[in-house]
Amino acid sequence: MKEQTLALIKPDAIAKRYQGLIIHDILEAEFEIKAMKMLYFTKDQAQSFYIVHKEKDFYEPLIKFMTSGSIIALLLEKDNAIADYRKLIGNIDMKLAAEGTLRKKYAESTRHNAVHGSDNSENAKKEIAFFF
């Protein structure tokens, strides 16, 4: 059964012109791109999207980072999309990420980690609805 998930290509990856490579890797992993758009997060949008992290120490730096440049939102679909995309992106710490994962290949650091992916089906539905 096909499942959907949200992927974001973050400002650091776009600034380094990695978006085409990341999209290529997503397609090579047999995801279907059902929708895609490039946009700038306003501060209010970023705060709303990341509200679950509001009390965490990285919240304000995250908001500043995510509003620092354009992002690309992608609606991806395939069997086991959430788990498969989480595997494709790799560990949040690029040093611990497996070879060939998006974060191993394109991340700058734990905070500037190139991509986002929904972590469960409930969040995927909310995140997809946020953008699409």
Q: Known catalytic residues?
A: 116
Closest CA to 24 of 2, 40, 9: 9
CA torsion sign for 65, 36, 25, 126 is positive
The enclosing H or E element of 9 equals strand 2-9
Closest CA to 64 of 12, 130, 7: 12
Longest Cα separation, the chain: 38
Structural tokens at position 15:
């600034």
Residue bearing tokens 């700058």: 108
Q: Give the integer Cα–Cα distance in Å for 103 and 56.
A: 22
